Amino acid sequence: MASVEEVKANVAASVDGAGRAVTGIQQINDQLDDALARLRITAVGSFHPSIAIAIAHLEQARTRLDEAGTLTRAAMDSADTYRMII
């Protein structure tokens, strides 16, 4: 059985890893924002359904990434709370 200090260290390592994941999510989100901006500028005046679908998919991906980041930060907060309690 792990000691309290080992548990705290493992929780801290998990929070650190989740923090790195949040940073990666933000970087990907920034890249999606750039891609969306370029696609929207390129598509001005075009009413082709394929470009509208592409934009919609990128927006949905960005929304889901935002949700993933929010959930990950909430998990980090909960894990930090647990670490302080034990």
Q: Please, which pLDDT band fits residue 1 given cuts at 50, 70 and 90? A: confident
What DSSP character marks residue 44? T
The pLDDT value recorded for residue 46 is 85
How far apart are alpha carbons 9 and 43 in whole angstroms? 50
* pTM for the full predicted model: 0.86
pLDDT digits over 44-54, tens only? Answer: 988 899 999 99
Residues in Cβ contact with 28 at an 8 Å cutoff, skipping those fewer than 6 apart: 65
pLDDT digits over 28-70, tens only? Answer: 999 999 999 999 999 998 889 999 999 999 999 999 999 999 9
Residues of the chain above pLDDT 70, percent:
100
Sequence spans of domains, the chain: 4-85
Q: Compute φ and ψ for 44, nearest 5 degrees.
A: -55, 125
**Positive or negative, the Cα torsion across 72, 78, 83, 86?**
negative
